[in-house]
């Protein structure tokens, strides 16, 4: 046991030593047993004076290795050689070809009051374009005007890509005239969270040190949306380096109450779609950054399975937890957008090839849906609205099966994000550029990235070994319950943290309002790579309600 602790300290004290010299002018200052003792206290270990003394030569050697490693320019796009795999033991991947069947469009007419277009779904707008009741250029100018009108109140736009948008819209109209129709996203305006690169435009990551950064590439997601005919109207605000709703342009506002923030970190994506400034937007999630702004802004969001959507051209915060997904007005809009962006691209090695099979469900009769017993049975803020949601599912014919999540304090594993983020933005910490960031509190990124230097490599690996156990336990729980989909309160019970660690997909959608008139949400969870089933069940519930049809009045 003592040898194991010693090995841990060798790695641990080296992290501490590296942190001590990281921002000094003398990296060759000798290490002492006092440094080793301080490190041991930070890591919760204890060593005798003789044991500490015996480490000094090795600690010094490791520190020299750090100096060598830091001579290499590691930009944010360079991923570690260790890839996270969310697949549990004995997991069977979905088989067969991909298939997509959207709901029948029905008769969609151009409204007499054009302002009503602001809250049409992607599916409705698509039908208007396909039947040439409105042109893509007309629709694009309409949404560009709304972005210009309301962004001064909401602070959701970093860069308006007006020239590009009009160019893409005119191309879409010309193609349609020539008989080339790319599909349901043809000519549809959208916005992208400003951690996705678009050649020729700034990609600021919402942060002061990067506010003039231009990346000479297109993110895969943006490439695929362009191939589908979508029209990029804006790079949207995000909490600085993917935390919260505060960026260098201020705080992005919630359209339901502009005195409050829109949550984050996909702040602009949530705010803009909610306010009818765009039909859909792309967000990302590491630990709630799609789920939370979708909830606060009263829209629908899809967080796909880890390894479903390529992150090429996207800012890395946590290589083992970052995920990209759509934020829209309806569940089926999420399906339409996801259908255009999922799958391998040869650039992101974590993306796994798996079919996406989606078709609306006409009934939930006889369907078994899991239901988290302890969270739903506890006392929490949205209990009444969630209870009504579960009752609606029963009325639709679903059988609710109680399930229990693995027992563990999932929050202890959040150190994974801190360590990976600390590595992704190592240069900020070592060169004092983190001092330029807007938020500087104890829980802000600058402090988190600094403290990440004190996390032992051993503990980081142990945390990921616990993830392996949780992944396998989740698979066993869902298999035993015989469910492909389960329900969870959006926040209560730890499901949000757990499933971001395990990589499971979820759909979050509005299910009511608070006493103050602010939106609430419910979460539909699913088996890995089974977004189609989760979306279909969530759509069946959404079709039985009208919460998604409510919108703020600005």
Q: Which residues are catalytic?
A: 193, 265, 289
Q: How many residues does the chain have?
A: 554
Look at residue 112 and give its three-state secondary structure. coil
The CA-atom distances, in angstroms, between 297 and each of 263, 373, 462 are 8, 27, 37
How far is 518 from 155, CA to CA, in rounded Å?
A: 19
CB 332 within 8 A of CB 102: yes
How far is 285 from 321, CA to CA, in rounded Å?
A: 8
Closest to 408 (Cα-Cα) out of 495, 486, 490: 495
Phi then psi dihedrals of residue 83, to 5 deg = -110, 135
* Alpha helix ranges (H) inside 196-354: 220-227, 267-274, 291-297, 331-341
> Using CA atoms in the order 404, 410, 416, 418, what is the torsion angle rounded to 10 degrees?
140
How far is 465 from 447, CA to CA, in rounded Å?
A: 26
* Alpha helix ranges (H) inside 382-456: 383-395, 415-424, 426-430, 445-452
Pairing relation of β-strands 300-303 and 357-358? unpaired
The CA-atom distances, in angstroms, between 37 and each of 19, 21, 225, 264, 488 are 15, 17, 54, 39, 45
Phi then psi dihedrals of residue 98, to 5 deg = -70, 150
Which class for 356: exposed (0-12), middle (13-18), buried (19 or more C-beta within 10 A)?
buried
Burial readout 149-164 (b: 16 or more C-beta within 10 A, e: otherwise) = ebbeebbbbbebbeeb
Closest to 20 (Cα-Cα) out of 5, 31, 7: 31
Pairing relation of β-strands 281-285 and 189-193? parallel
Query: What secondary structure, in 3-state letters, does 2-32 show?
Result: HHHHHHHHHHHHHHHHHHHHHCCCCCCCCCC
- Report the run of H or E that residue 146 belongs to, with start and end: helix 136-154
Peptide bond into 265 cis (omega under 30): yes
How far is 450 from 465, CA to CA, in rounded Å?
A: 24
Look at residue 144 and give its three-state secondary structure. helix
Pairing relation of β-strands 519-526 and 506-513? antiparallel
How far is 520 from 513, CA to CA, in rounded Å?
A: 5
């Amino acid at each position: 046991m003592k040898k194991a602790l010693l090995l841990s300290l060798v790695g641990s004290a080296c992290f501490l030593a590296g942190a001590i010299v990281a921002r000094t002018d003398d990296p060759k200052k000798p290490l002492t047993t006092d440094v080793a003792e301080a490190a041991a206290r930070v890591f919760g270990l204890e060593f005798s004076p003789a044991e500490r003394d015996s480490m000094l030569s090795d600690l010094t050697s490791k520190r020299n290795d750090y100096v060598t490693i830091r001579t290499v320019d590691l930009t944010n796009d360079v991923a570690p050689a260790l890839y996270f795999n969310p697949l549990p033991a004995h997991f069977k991947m979905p088989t067969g070809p991909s298939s997509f069947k959207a709901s029948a469009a029905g008769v969609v007419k151009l409204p007499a009051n054009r302002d009503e277009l602001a809250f049409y779904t992607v599916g409705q707008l698509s039908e208007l374009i396909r039947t040439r009741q409105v042109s893509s250029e007309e629709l694009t100018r309409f949404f560009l005007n709304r972005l210009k009108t309301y962004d001064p109140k909401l602070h959701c736009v970093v860069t308006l890509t007006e020239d590009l948008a009009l160019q893409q819209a005119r191309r879409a109209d010309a193609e349609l005239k020539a008989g080339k129709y790319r599909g349901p996203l043809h000519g549809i305006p959208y916005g992208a969270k400003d951690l996705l690169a678009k050649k020729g435009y700034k990609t600021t990551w919402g942060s002061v040190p990067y506010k003039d950064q231009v990346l000479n590439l297109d993110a895969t997601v943006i490439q695929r949306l362009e191939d589908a005919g979508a029209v990029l109207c804006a790079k949207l605000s995000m909490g600085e380096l993917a935390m919260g709703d505060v960026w260098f342009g201020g705080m992005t506002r919630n359209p339901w109450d502009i005195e409050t923030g829109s949550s984050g970190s996909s702040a602009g994506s949530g705010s803009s779609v909610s306010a009818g400034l765009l039909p859909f937007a792309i967000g990302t999630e590491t630990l709630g950054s799609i789920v939370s702004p979708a909830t606060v802004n009263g829209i629908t969001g899809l967080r796909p399975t880890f390894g479903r959507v390529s992150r090429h051209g996207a800012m890395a915060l946590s290589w083992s937890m970052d995920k990209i997904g759509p934020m829209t007005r309806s569940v089926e809009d999420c399906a339409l957008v996801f259908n255009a962006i999922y799958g391998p691209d040869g650039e992101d090695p974590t993306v796994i090839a798996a079919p996406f099979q989606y078709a609306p469900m006409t009934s939930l009769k006889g369907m078994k849906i899991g239901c988290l017993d302890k969270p739903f049975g506890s006392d929490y803020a949205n209990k009444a609205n969630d209870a009504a949601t579960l009752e609606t599912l029963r009325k639709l014919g679903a059988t609710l099966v109680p399930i229990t999540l693995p027992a563990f304090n999932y929050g202890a594993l959040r150190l994974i994000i801190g360590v990976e983020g600390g590595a992704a933005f190592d240069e900020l910490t070592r060169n004092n550029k983190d001092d330029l960031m807007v938020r500087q509190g104890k829980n802000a990124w600058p402090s988190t990235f600094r403290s990440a230097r004190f996390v032992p490599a051993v503990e980081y690996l142990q945390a990921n070994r616990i993830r392996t156990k949780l992944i396998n336990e989740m698979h066993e729980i869902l298999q035993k319950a015989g469910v492909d989909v389960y329900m969870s309160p959006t926040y209560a019970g730890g499901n949000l943290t757990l499933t971001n660690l395990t990589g499971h997909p979820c759909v979050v959608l509005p299910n009511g309002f608070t006493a103050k008139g602010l939106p609430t949400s419910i979460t539909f969870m699913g088996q890995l790579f089974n977004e189609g089933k989760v979306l279909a069940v969530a759509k069946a519930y959404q079709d039985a309600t009208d919460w998604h049809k409510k919108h703020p009045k600005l």
